[in-house]
């Protein structure tokens, strides 16, 4: 779940890794080349702070970070990307929370003026979520307690992935199977209008994943994930099972994937839904097949369509064989 404080939005994943992202102000014109600024921190008493910047640029450049006219940090950016770590990053994050105006400069040229409105509240949220409030490790809610009072980071869930399937690619669906699949999913009309037929991907000797096209717009295309079993020409269909059911349709029993992609080498199923065409908001998720259902291993979101191209991680797991 994400929280927004004025011009900053913040969120954490299941490991209490937290990220705060600067948004473009709701009022006024956006800059021609906006910069995305992210403050991130892992959980645990020893975790440090990172501040990253991303903008559309080429080559190497020396960047200075100024708060209320005073230079607080500097870093070398490559193709518009740079990350500050350690004491310099912590000092910059604290200065941002207490400052009024931030400028990112290259020499005498001001490249960006990210808003600081709401940054203090976003960092206070991170302090609270990670159990740092009242300790010396907090960025905002500091107190007399030492690092030993900070909660340890939760363990990262491990998802056991099914063995990679052997054998040839699945046989194409027969005409009667396509008709039955369209009736089963309710996507017969969308299947007829689709530019490509349903995608078939082998999951095991007896199971095939089918991504059924079920409508598209300007920048989002919907697929229904179906599992097929049985002999070729007379395959039976059921909806793929998920531990966290995806979907934005009215039929909660039917999983919907947006802009789905399949990676056979890792049995990984990806989806991402843009909130609008430029991609500065939306949600994404990734799953792996465990032999019975698809298990969530990654999830990210950006709920505010305000010029921030970094989506905040809200779930993390690791796939193991």
Looking at residue 250, its pLDDT comes to 60
pLDDT score, position 251: 65
Tell me the per-residue pLDDT of 163-222, one tens digit each, with 9 for 90 and over. Answer: 999 989 999 999 999 999 999 999 999 999 999 999 999 999 999 999 999 999 889 999
* Helix H or strand E segment including 288: strand 282-289
pLDDT score, position 320: 96
Which residue in 271, 251, 276 sits closest to 260, CA to CA?
271
SS (H, E, C) 213-254: EEEECCCCEEEEEEEEECCCCCCEEEECCECCCCCCCCCCCC
Quick: pLDDT tens for 128-174: 999 999 999 999 999 999 999 999 999 999 999 999 999 899 999 99
Count Cβ atoms within 10 A of the Cβ of residue 188 and give its class: 0-12 exposed, 13-18 middle, 19 or more buried: middle
Q: How confident is the model at residue 28 (pLDDT cuts 50, 70, 90)?
A: confident
* Residues 109-121: tens digit of each pLDDT: 999 999 999 999 9
Residue 23 buriedness (CB in 10 A; 0-12 / 13-18 / 19+) = buried
pLDDT, mean over the chain: 96
Start-to-end CA distance of the chain, whole Å, equals 30
pLDDT of residue 294: 98
Residue 59 pLDDT class (50, 70, 90 cuts): very high
Residue 248 pLDDT: 64
Q: Which two tokens stand for residue 219?
A: 């920048």
Residues 309 and 36: beta-carbon distance below 8 Å: yes
**Extents of the domains making up the chain:** 3-149, 158-320
Point out which residues pair with 229 in neighbouring strands.
Answer: 236
- Residues 21/6, Cβ–Cβ less than 8 Å: no
**What's the pLDDT at 26?**
87
According to the model, what pLDDT value does residue 253 have?
Answer: 82
Q: How confident is the model at residue 38 (pLDDT cuts 50, 70, 90)?
A: very high
pLDDT value of position 298: 98
Neighbours of 241 (CB within 10 A): 14
Q: Which two tokens stand for residue 243?
A: 């531990």
State the burial class of residue 303 (Cβ atoms within 10 Å of its Cβ: 0-12, 13-18, 19+): middle
Please determine, for residue 32, whether its predicted confidence score (pLDDT) is greater than 90. Answer: no
**Looking at per-residue confidence, does 249 or 80 come out higher?**
80
Does residue 125 carry a pLDDT above 80?
Answer: yes
- Rounded CA-CA distance 280/174 in Å is 41
Q: In percent, how much of the chain has pLDDT > 90?
A: 93
Q: Is residue 252 predicted with pLDDT exceeding 80? A: no
The topology (CATH level 3) of 3-149 is Immunoglobulin-like (2.60.40)
- What pLDDT, in 10s, does the model give residues 287-301? 999 999 999 999 999
pLDDT of 51 above 70 = yes
């Amino acid at each position: 779940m994400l929280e927004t404080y004025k011009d900053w939005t913040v969120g954490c994943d299941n490991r209490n890794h937290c990220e705060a992202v600067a948004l473009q102000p709701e009022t006024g014109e956006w800059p021609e080349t906006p910069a995305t600024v992210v403050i991130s921190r892992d959980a645990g008493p020893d975790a440090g702070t990172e501040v990253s910047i991303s903008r559309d640029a080429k080559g190497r450049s020396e960047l200075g970070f100024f708060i209320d006219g005073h230079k607080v940090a500097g870093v070398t950016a490559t193709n518009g990307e740079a990350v500050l770590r350690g004491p310099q990053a912590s000092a910059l994050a604290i200065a941002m929370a207490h400052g009024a105006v931030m400028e990112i400069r290259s020499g005498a040229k001001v490249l960006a003026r990210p808003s600081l409105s709401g940054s203090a509240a976003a960092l206070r949220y991170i302090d609270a979520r990670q159990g740092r409030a009242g300790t010396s490790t907090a960025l905002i809610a500091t107190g007399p307690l030492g690092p030993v009072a900070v909660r340890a980071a939760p363990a990262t869930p491990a998802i056991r992935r099914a063995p990679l399937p052997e054998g040839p690619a699945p046989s194409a669906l027969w005409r009667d199977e396509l008709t039955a699949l369209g009736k089963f999913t309710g996507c017969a009309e969308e299947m007829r209008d689709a530019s490509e037929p349903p995608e078939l991907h082998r999951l095991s000797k007896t199971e095939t994943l089918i991504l059924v096209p079920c409508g598209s717009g300007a920048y989002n295309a919907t697929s229904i994930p179906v599992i097929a079993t049985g002999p070729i020409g007379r395959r039976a269909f059921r909806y793929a099972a998920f531990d966290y059911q995806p979907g934005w349709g009215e039929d909660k029993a039917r999983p919907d994937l947006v802009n789905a992609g399949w990676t056979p080498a890792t049995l990984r199923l990806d989806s991402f839904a843009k909130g609008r065409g430029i991609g500065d908001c939306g949600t994404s998720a990734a799953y792996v097949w465990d032999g019975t259902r698809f298990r969530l291993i990654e999830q990210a979101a950006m709920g505010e369509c305000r010029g921030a191209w970094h989506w905040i991680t809200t779930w993390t797991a690791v796939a193991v064989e």
